[in-house]
Amino acid sequence: MAGYYVADKRLPSWVIAFSNNATGESAWLLLGLTGMGYAVGIHALWVVLGEVLGVTLGWTLVASRFKEYTDRYGAITVPDYLEARFRDTKHVFQLMGLVIIVSMVAAYTAAQFTAMGKAFGSFAGTSYGAGVLIGAAIILFYTTVGGFQAVAYSDVLQGVLMFLALLVLPIVGFSAAGGWSATFETLQRVDPALLRPMGTAGLSLSGVLGALGFVAVGFAFLGAPQLLVRWISARDRGEIVQGSLIAVICIIVFDLGAVFAGIAGRALFPGLPDQETILPTMAAELFPAVFTGIFLVVVLAASMSTVDSLLILASSSVARDVVQKIWRPDISDKTVALIGKGVTAVIGAVAVWFALEEVRLIFWFVLFAWSGLASAFTPVVLCSLFWKRTTRAGAIAGMAAGFLTAVIWTVAFKERFFDLYEMIPGFAAGFGATVLVSLLTRPPEGAGAELESVARAVEES
């Protein structure tokens, strides 16, 4: 079980660093964020600020404490950790986690399959549906067979490809556009709003909220469950310390490269019907054919590095957290792993069906699923790691409030409130409910002393 879902907790620093960032970024980075740079110009740099802050704080403040706790508990999944931390004998965290994780993973995975359909269509001229099916077949095969270890090590290769592509593409793009000054002069003629930090709305309430929403994207790196699992799988806390610098450098190159590639692309190819095809367009027009093929591989790698992790996350939520922990505690690890493989295939098939139904704008669809997972888990995980008064009832209330607020805000309120990104009200509701209910209830016996012991262990090391 630990081998299939967390690689026996033996992964080195460089693997968890690249795997964490590659999983967190996905085709959202290669197609979505480049498309956002194309559409809004330097306004998209607020995303870069948020993600660099989120990754830095996650690795320096959260990772070591979370690793210490999960090692003490022998936890394999995030609901495992929450169950042990709050002495939950009724398995509420597993059941809530099942609903939240499976629903958001299906949406998130569908967006990645959408990206594959767009990539194959732009690069290879296949139909959108054929691209979705080809990509899904490859991912479902190696994820089902290899488990988390296959996912983590393939993430490294995929992450390196993404790093190199986003290092080279903006340099070539700005060069083709005539250099830095010429590029921005062209953008000034195309649309002066592309050079405004607050975008078309300027220094108004709408502009400030838009920038704040972009910054908020990065704070999911503090507690999204598909990223927390990387820290569980580390060999020890020393690997986390070593991996932090790699992770921060990687995210800076990833995000700056994507935004500036999109900005250069807007100067070179204005008027694209689909902003999220700017990277394929630049690859085809600015590079020899063999490099265009490599960029196709990079886009597919970005999708694969996220989809495989999401499928493993959903599989563990069903097979480990529900089947083994609630329904059949006596079931063998081998049987649970087989059930997990079946769940992986089923969820993947559902995501393919959704992806084939409609071509969505990847940037916003991924952010919806990203915010749903993060709003449910991040406030609760942070409170559990740093506030000894956090109670079981508070954590349950925070999970429910964060998740439901993010979803309801997107469906019912977002358009009426300046398109405020749903993670902001989701985090506010998650933290608010956790703190309020915890103040009205009693924390688990011994939890405060345990938190202080964990804090000392991390500080002493």
Q: What is the CATH number of the domain that holds 250?
A: 1.20.1730.10
**338 Cα distance to chain centroid:** 26
Q: With contact defined as beta carbons under 8 Å apart, do 6 and 13 qualify?
A: no
Pairwise CA distance, residues 353 & 357, whole Å: 6
Q: Please, which residues have CB within 8 angstroms of residue 277's CB and are 6 or more apart in sequence? A: 31, 35, 118, 122
- Structure-block tokens of residue 223: 């507690």
Q: Which amino acid is at 197?
A: P
Q: Which amino acid is at 343?
A: V
- Structure-block tokens of residue 352: 């393919």
**DSSP letter (8 states) at residue 234:** B
Per-residue pLDDT of the chain (461 residues; tens, 9 = 90+): 777 777 788 889 988 988 888 877 777 788 889 999 999 999 999 999 999 999 999 999 999 999 999 999 999 999 999 999 999 999 999 999 999 998 888 887 887 788 788 778 777 778 888 888 888 888 888 777 777 777 778 888 888 888 999 999 999 999 999 999 999 999 999 889 899 988 887 788 888 888 898 898 899 899 989 889 999 999 999 999 899 999 999 999 999 999 999 999 999 999 888 888 899 899 989 999 888 888 888 887 777 777 878 888 888 888 888 888 888 888 887 888 788 888 888 888 888 888 887 655 565 667 788 889 999 999 999 999 999 999 999 999 999 999 999 999 988 888 788 778 889 999 999 999 999 999 999 999 999 999 999 999 999 87
Which domain does 368 fall in, by range?
A: 2-460
Q: With contact defined as beta carbons under 8 Å apart, do 130 and 374 qualify?
A: no
Evaluated on CA atoms 43, 411, 423, 232, the torsion sign reads negative
**417 Cα distance to chain centroid:** 25
Pairwise CA distance, residues 258 & 236, whole Å: 32
> Which has the closest alpha carbon to 370: 254, 226, 257, 255?
226
Q: Give CA angle at 431 (430, 434), nearest 5°.
A: 85
Q: Tell me, what's the pLDDT at 105?
A: 85
In terms of Cβ atoms closer than 10 Å to its own Cβ (0-12, 13-18, 19+), residue 162 is buried
Q: With contact defined as beta carbons under 8 Å apart, do 321 and 98 qualify?
A: yes
State the residue for tokens 């508990």: 73
- Structure-block tokens of residue 238: 């020393």
Please count the other Cβ atoms lying within 10 Å of the Cβ belonging to residue 220.
27
**203 Cα distance to chain centroid:** 29
- Structure-block tokens of residue 50: 């948020």
Pairwise CA distance, residues 421 & 423, whole Å: 6
In terms of pTM, does the model score above 0.85? Answer: yes
**104 Cα distance to chain centroid:** 11
Residue 234: φ, ψ to 5°: -65, 150
Q: Tell me, what's the pLDDT at 85?
A: 96
Provide the number of structural domains found in the chain.
1
